Structures are given as structure tokens and as C-alpha cells.
Structure 1
Amino acid sequence: MQGAWFSYKTWVWLGLIALVLAGCGPRRPAQSETPAPSAAEAAAARSIKVRVVQTQSGALTTTRTTGATLSPTRESQVGATASGKVLEVLVREGSRVAQGQVVLRLDPVNARSALSNAQLALQQAQVNLARAQRSTSGSLAPLQSSLESAQANLQVAERRYREGKQLFQAGAIAQVELTSLEAAYDQAKAAADNARENLARNQRASTEDLALLRLQVQQAQNQLAQAQRAVADTEVKAPFAGVVAEVFLNPGEFVAAGQRAFRLADTTRLEADFRLPPEDAAALPLGSRITLLYGGQNYPATITRSTKVPGTDRLVELTAQVEGTLPPGASAQVSYTLTLARGTLITSGALQTEGRTTYVYAVQDGKAVRTPVQVLADTGARAAVEGLPAGVQVVFPVPASLNNGDALEVVQ
């Protein structure tokens, strides 16, 4: 019984000793408590991370393209200026010719025959005029001599009559002698008048005859010049340098004056014809610069004509002069730039819509500020707006959960 009690007491003491030893050992550090977060740290934990874009002031432009057809600036349907049979065609279609180069010839036999007849007619008219001039000179000489003789006789008769009157007043001669001297004076005066009239009449006749003959010479000269032109017209020439695009006649065919002979195109200067909506055409006045895209290259062009009135397809026709060597008749692309509006430029994706209101989220003092704007123009990538100054940071892309007044953290 005592042994059992001893055993029990032994175990109790051993337990107490173990507890004491445990209390005397090194103490474990107490678990540290987490300090309460500050207000700034709490706000940062609740802020939304966003990216931003900065607005700027300027013009919103867009580049558009449309199809165009190239054609020569100058093109002519050259017609024959004479009638006759086509003798030969000297140029093939597609060949380049110089100004004044002969493209085809007509049979010149009839024209050359007419030229010879005109030359003979002129020679004959010139001979007739020369003969009439010699004849006039020969016929007027005697009349001029008769007039001079009559005027001399008149002077003598007049002198004798004046002397007779003086002698009669002095009583040196009788009345009958004075009357005789007066009659001689009157007769000499009449003879002089007749001689003067004959000479004047013959001079007028000769002058009229010579004028008529001179007109005949002039007419013959005109007919000769016309015949020379007719011979020259048997050679149909290029009125300007270019490419013979098409020949309408073959050797042996008969052509009438005015009938088209060939088509000539000046390919050194081409035009691009294209159509645009009225609003685009209105934004491209005459003199506007555009770009022509052909064969992988860009060619500058200047708008020179515009119908201004839409056609049946509700498009306006425009024409631009192209700088560069391109094949006429080819198709190309016209690229033009339009200024849609001027204002504050912004990425279109930053625009938000609610009902009829369009707005953006501007960053102000670290918060999202809902700012209404008016859209002036929008290309889908960029927009021009009013109601928002330049230099403002705007949230883009816009998180779906973003609301007005939310705290923001801008990240790059």
C-alpha cells in the first residue's frame, strides 16, 4: 500500500518539476499585430488603374480614295482639208509624231493642175495690166500736148486782147479790130477748155480701166494662193506633237474635205477624271492638290475643272491635271485629303454616350471627371470636339466600371 502511494507521489513531483522547467525556459515572442492602414493607403487600394491620352488642338483630316480614268489633256479628231483619194498612210497607230509631220497623203494630181492654171491666169492678168499701162501712157501724151498748145494759144490771145483794149481806149484801133481780138480770145479759151476736158476724160477712163485690171491681178493672186493651199492640203499633218491614237482611212479610199482622217492625242499631259459626293467635291476647290496612285507609284495632280452640279448618279465630276508620264486610257486611284473640322482632337474610343449626351472622363486631381462634349467630326479613329480644352488627360480605354468621381491611378 505504501509502495503504491510512493509511486503516485513520485509522478506528481515529476510533473511539477517539468512545469517549473518549462516556465524557466526561453519565452516565445508574441505574434505581432498588423498596424492599421493609413487614409492614403486605403484610397490607393480603392483607386482604379487607367491609361490616358492627351487632347490637342488642330484640324481633323481624313484621306479617301476613288477610281479615276486617265485621258489626254489635248486630243483632236484631225480632218482632211481637201478632197481626193488617199495615196498613202505614213504613220502607224500608236506612233509619236512631231508638230507638222505628215501623217497621210492624198492624190495631188488635180490640185497641182489647178495650181498650174492659177499661175497662168496670174501671168495673163499681169500682162494685161502692163499693156494697158503702156497704152494709157501713149494715148494720154497727145492729149497732154494738145492741152499745152491750147493753153499757150490762150495766153497769146489773152495778151493781144488786153493790148487791143488799151489801144482802143487810146483811139489807136477801131472797134471792129477790138471785136476781132475778143473773138480770138474766146475761141482760144474754148479750145483750152476742150483740150483739158478731153485729157481729164481719158485720164478717168484709163484710171478705171487700170483699176479693173489691177483687181484682176489681185484676184488671180488669190486664186494662186488658194491653189497652193489646195496642194499643201493633200498632205494631212499633225497640228501638234502627240501620239496617233487611231487612223480612220486606208490607201485607195476617197476622202471628202472635212472628213476625219486620224485621232491625235497629246500624252505628255494627262487628266484624271473622277466623281465624288457633293460634300467632298465642295471641300476640294480648283487648284487643290491630290495624289494619283498608279502602278505602285504616287503622282501629284491638281484639280482644274469641276461640274459643281451632281449628275444623275448624284456625284460631281472633277478633272485633275496629272504630273508625270502615264498611259492614256488607264485606270488609277485618286487619293485626296479632306479637313473635316477644327477643334480639340481626341481618340474616338474615349467618347462615351448616354442618351443624347456624349462625354469623356477627364483626369482632374486624381479623379475621373465626366465632361460633356460636342462632336464636330469623327473618323472612327479620331474625333474633333468642342467643350474640352487642349492638353487635358482623358481616360482611354475606358473601364466598364468607371464612374464619375472615381479615384484614378494613371499607368503607362
Structure 2
Amino acid sequence: MSNQSGVLNGVRVLDLTRVLAGPYCGMMLADFGADVIKIELPGKGDDSRANAPQINGESAYFMNLNRNKRGITLNLKSEEGRNIFLDMVRNSDIVLENYRPGVMEKLGLGYEDLRKVNPAIIYGAVSGFGHTGPYSKRAGYDIIGQAMSGLMSTTGWPDAPPTRTGTAIADVVGGMSCTIGVLAAYSNRLKTGVGEKVDIALVDSMVSSLEIINIIYLNTGRIPTRIGNRYEAIYPYDSFQARDGYVIIACGNDKLFGLLKQTLNIDALDNEIFRTNIDRVTHHAELKSILECWTRGHDIDHIVELLLAAGIPAAPINTIDRVTKDPHIAVAREMFVDIEHPVAGKITMTGNQVKFTNKKATIRFPAPTLGQHNHEVLKELLDYSDEKIEQLVNAGIL
């Protein structure tokens, strides 16, 4: 296909996923240069096409997660639709799906079915609880992954209810986990010729992400709870109120705290109860009060510039408008990219976070309209004629 570039150039992915976790994985592979073919239900498509915000009738939510993908429609509940899919599997490297476990098997399209037609196929499956275990058939959504992993119990403030993160982090981390898994399996296949099933659970992904939270309980018996923005292991490593918002001060060791004392020149910081990191963790409330008394009298940018100049890690807590204007994030790191969509017009989406030196991960073309590439893909992969494709459209297969 034209316009393909990147480190995964030549890799073909069949993407059956919907909404967020699976499409995020497909998006990353597509950004890396793979030919990702998104397969949707005829007449309806991915549920997220109806998600807000809408621009000229097109979902920006959908467009961000499905850029760089070609799109076809295919009715997998029909025998002919399943046969077409199996023929495509023969010519592909990776299949992605995020149905509830068992659905693909009922269709006759599970991993064991696909490996019969292509023993080298990499099968990436994302679900709420994974394909094994007593909860495997439960529906899984991002908020369930955050809840059952323990993340929500530790997110928020001590006097507030458990809180989900501002983004769908279980879906995003699940999607990243699937990306890592299928690429590791693909690397192994290059050496052995043998395919693999990659089974990713949102809950597992979030449990893994909790790192120190799990370790505290497993090794001390203490159940971590909500502690706001401070960190369990070191202090000061927290948010502090400024005159015009909030800042982060992150002193990860005694040397940095020494620099902070020297820079701020506040007598109270010399108190013996703040001498070591363990002391400061124990007396975090007193230390926060002293530091916040100072930060409240200054603007965010002044505090950050002063501390950074002294070698102390600090940062603004940016609102999203500040992020999109930041010269490092938005310009140097190209984390916001403009692209022209045939219906929505010019839109801005989030760039790819993985930066390669020689072959960039780029946004080359917009998300497909529903069934946009039916003719192109089926001609290219299966050598179908225009007449046959029209017959399939009329029969409701495409």
C-alpha cells in the first residue's frame, strides 16, 4: 500500500477491535508503519463512531484511535463473511480482537481456528479479565479495570471517595500491553516461524501498574489508601498550591532536599524532624504546610523557574490548554498533530509517544469512513473484482 513507512512496514494487521483498548493497540502498530485494516460491522461500525465530541458528524474520539488504518466492513456472522476473513488471515501477520472471551470461538474464528489456516498468525486479544480464570466471561470496561485492580482505592484524597483517573487508563495500559505482547510474539515468530496467542486483561494490566502499592501490602501487611498527590516512599514529592494554580516539587533524595532548603532559605526547614527522607515521609504534613505557605505567595511559572535553576525537579500542574501550547511537548516532541479528514476537515489529534531515530512513527492519513477501503483491500488481498465486491455489498456481507 502507498504511504506506508516506519519500522513495521510490511506487517499486515487485521483489527477487529472496538472503542478504546484494542483500537489503541492497532493505532500504535499503524503509527509504526504496519498496514492495519480495521474491520467493522456493515451499516453500523465501531460503537465509538457515535462518541463525543462530534465534528461535522464524525467522532473525534474514533478519529484519534483509528488514524493510519484502512477500513472495511464485513459481517462475520455470515458464512461467506467468515470465509472472507479466513482468506484475509492467510495473508496477514497479526489479528487483534477485544470481544468478550468465547465470542470469536463461537464464530469459528478463535485462535485455534485461525492457526489452522495460518500457523504463524499472531492473535492479540484484549478483554476485561482475560481468557482464563473464573471471571473470564464477565464484561470488562475501563472503570471496572480501575476498580478491581485496586487503583481506584488509592486514587484521590483521604477524605474523598475512591476516584477513577481522568483518562481511561486501564484501556490505555491494556492497549499498550497488547502492543508489547504482539510485537514480542512477532519477534519470536521471525526466529521460529511459530505464531502465538497474546491474552491481555485490563485488570492484569492495572495490577501490574500499581508497582509500589502492591509491594507495600505484600511485604508489610499495610493496606495502602488514598493519600492525594504525595508519594509513599519519598518526601517532598507532592503538589503544592501556588498563587495561580498548582505546582509539583519532587525531591527524590536528601541532596535535593538540601538544595531546596538552600534555595528557599526558610528556617523551619532545618528542623531535625526533616533531616532524612524517612523523617520527611513521617512528618509530611508539617513539611507540606511550611512549603505551601511559601508557594501560595508566588506564581506557578516563577516557582518552577526558580527551582529548576537550582537543580530541583519541579513542574507546573498544567491544564490541557497549557499542555497544547508547551514548546517542548507540543513543538519539539510533536505530541499534537494536524491532519485533514475528508468529512471533519482539519482536526488535531494526539501524536505518538514513541520516537524512533531513523523511521518516525507518523500520522500519515486519517481514520477511515465506514467501509471506505472495501474495494481497495479486497482487490489487493484477495483479487476480488468490482462486480464481486458489489454483490457482497448488496448481500449485506460488506
Q: Which has the higher contact order (CA 8 A, sep 6+)?
A: 1
TM-score by length of 2: 0.18
TM-score by length of 1: 0.17
Answer 1 or 2: which has greater strand percent. Answer: 1
Answer 1 or 2: which has greater helix percent. Answer: 2
